[in-house]
Chains A and B, each alone.
Chain A
Amino acid sequence: MSTKPFRPDVDAPKYEGKYTPYDIIREGTIAIVVVGLLVILLATLFGSPDERAITIKTWSNADPIDFATTALGELNGTTITAQYGAPYNTAAPGQNLGPLKLAQFAGVTIPVNTVRDFVIAPLTSQPYNKNLSAALSQWKGASAAQQSSWVSNYTKGASKMTWSNGTITVPATNTGPVPTMINSLTAMARSGALDQALVTGGGFYTTNYTKPLLFVADGTYLANLAQKQHLLGSQWGMMNETGSYPGQAWLWLYTFWYQVSPFSSSSNADVQVSALMGLLSLLLLLVPFIPGLRSIPRKVKIYRLIWREYYHS
């Protein structure tokens, strides 16, 4: 009868040492008690991050010009959301992985028309106001070319936008109902009504904050706050927390790829980094089957340090 040769990476030699009892329940109980006490102690000492939520109301009150500029961007289709592509619209091909057009495969699953959803629909939901009602009627009754012309004329003067006495003013002519719409939307935002208008719908509980989050992210206010807190993708933000609290340090490798070429300048970085991390995770999962890689623990011999008494004897 032939016997298989012993393979050090795969086969385990028969253990012929002594056996000692081990009370895993006792060890587990001690671990839970110690960790529980540590949690209580650290929570008492340091608390937890307590940043106030950023809403359209806080944004438009802190920086009405940034809000109005963003609202105009939603109208003329120049914001991130308006130009994103899937899952919101078909304005761009979206992210792909080589020849795999992944965003297009998934399609538009959360349709967002920034003109309709962020400007016209919220304004239409407002209680009757003579000026706003007339402006909306004028807008809805105009051709697409006319609407585009009004928005284009208003956009030309938008770099000189001012905010005074609760009114947004832009030095531009032939802008039709656009000034009234932008001012009404700004007033609506500052009152908090726009936050409510954008989360309403979809069921009894209004927990879908996709639209207000997209709107806020289209402005520069949120990005500036994030930059101060080191939360941008280019600042290793994925592993940071607000304030001086420790964050998600275990995401270091994921966020590391975003800092280095070619990912740091790629428009498909999210998909590429996800694919790379998936590949690395697969490698880790398959370590026992990969010759060479599976030999590292045996050759490094850290196990002999842990079980030094056994190997010493």
Chain B
Amino acid sequence: MAYLWSLAALIPLNNYGHYIHWGVIDVSVANFIVVVLMILTFIAALFLPFPGRNRRKENQ
């Protein structure tokens, strides 16, 4: 069974979480990070050029 322990998470997150309170809002730091990453991904998708754009231009 010892080898199974080597598969354990390097950074386990089973300790109690941290929360951000703001008025009626009560969100965990982990959820907040995920939401921020989603927003950043959306913004990146808006502004980053489509991959292969230059290649397509060359083909035209």
Contact = CB atoms under 8 A, between A and B. Distances in A.
B40 interface: no
Interface residues of A, number: 33
A49 B31 contact: no
Interface of B: 8-19, 24, 26-31, 33-35, 38, 46-47, 53, 56, 59-60
Given A44-B10, A47-B9, A243-B17, 15 more contacts: A20-B60, A21-B59, A45-B9, A46-B11, A46-B12, A230-B28, A236-B26, A243-B15, A244-B14, A244-B18, A245-B17, A247-B31, A259-B26, A305-B47, A309-B53
A230 B19 contact: yes
Contact of B31 (A21, A48, A249, A302): A249
A239 B19 CA distance: 12
Contact of B17 (A48, A244, A259, A302): A244
Contacts, number: 82
A247 B60 contact: no
A11 interface: no
Contacts of B35: 249
A46 B9 contact: yes
B31 A244 contact: no
A242 B17 CA distance: 8
Contacts of B56: 20-21
Contacts of A243: 13-17
A260 interface: yes
A16 interface: no
Given A244-B17, A305-B46, A47 B12 contact: yes
Chain B contact surface mostly:
mixed
Nearest to A245: B13
A171 B19 CA distance: 44
B14 A18 contact: no
A89 interface: no
A117 interface: no
A81 interface: no
The 10 closest A-B pairs by CB, nearest first: A47-B9, A246-B30, A244-B13, A244-B17, A243-B14, A246-B34, A249-B31, A20-B56, A236-B26, A245-B13
Contact of B30 (A43, A241, A305): A241
Contact of A230 (B17, B46, B53, B59): B17
Contacts of A20: 56, 59-60
Contacts of B28: 230, 240-241, 244, 246-247
A228 B14 CA distance: 13
Nearest to B14: A243
A49 B14 contact: yes
A20 B15 CA distance: 51
Contact of A46 (B13, B19, B27): B13
B16 A244 contact: yes
A303 to B, nearest CB: 10
Nearest to B33: A246
Contacts of A45: 9-11
A246 B24 CA distance: 19
Contacts of A245: 13, 17, 30
